[in-house]
Amino acid sequence: MEMAVVTLSGGLDSATLLFWSAKRYDVSALTFDYGSKHNEKEQIAAKELARLAGVRHILIKLPFINDLFKSNLLQSGGTIPEGHYEDASMQSTVVPFRNGIMLSIAVGLAESIGARTVLYAAHAGDHAIYPDCRPDFLNAMSGAAQAGTYINVQIQDPFIGMHKKDVVLLGSKLSVPFGVTYSCYKGGELHCGKCGTCVERREAFQLAGIPDPTRYEIVLLS
């Protein structure tokens, strides 16, 4: 089986990508600790997801991001805003060029282990707010990866045309253990239910008509 590196945050998109990829590739799952408020919870989820998918798991620490970069997503940043994901206030949670940095490292690791594919779980709903989730960025980045490696590593984004509800539907078919995944930007024991990523997560399950196993802090009236 061909090798691939899958970037795995521990959220439901990358968890679905992991289970999708594990059927097609010999997968190394790669998780980053970059000092976000929710990194500890994400890492616990990522490690468990890799174990359940039966793939090796690599954790890379990037402490310089929290030390030097500006974002409210980081432990060194301000408060996480509440409300819908696409609201302008959520821009304060963007970590500058985070995905460029993560994908570059994934590409270097891929060439080191002889894997010609890096898989990344950006989906259509990410585009509105994150410049480094857009097709233009991903195409250019994949071009840089191919030109900048001997084995022409490619970055693939199989979910780029899908909305999050479609990712939930696919994950459900693949029996992804959604209850293990973690998304909340606040990093608490339970998902807050109010930050942008929690709102998006709740909506995706509702739109997909799939039961949401997430334990939220707020009481949901549904």
Residue ranges in contact with a second copy by CB under 8 A: 58, 60-61, 64-65, 68-70, 91, 94-101, 103-105, 107-113, 131-132, 134, 136-137, 140-141, 143-145, 147-150, 153
CB of 12 to a second copy, least distance (A): 23
CB of 5 to a second copy, least distance (A): 11
Nearer of residues 107 and 167 to a second copy, judged by Cβ: 107
CB of 69 to a second copy, least distance (A): 5
Nearer of residues 20 and 130 to a second copy, judged by Cβ: 130
Amino acid identity at 114: G
| Cα 219 from Cα 43, distance rounded (Å) | 26
| Cα 208 from Cα 73, distance rounded (Å) | 28
| Cα 7 from Cα 28, distance rounded (Å) | 9
CB of 160 to a second copy, least distance (A): 14
Nearer of residues 103 and 167 to a second copy, judged by Cβ: 103
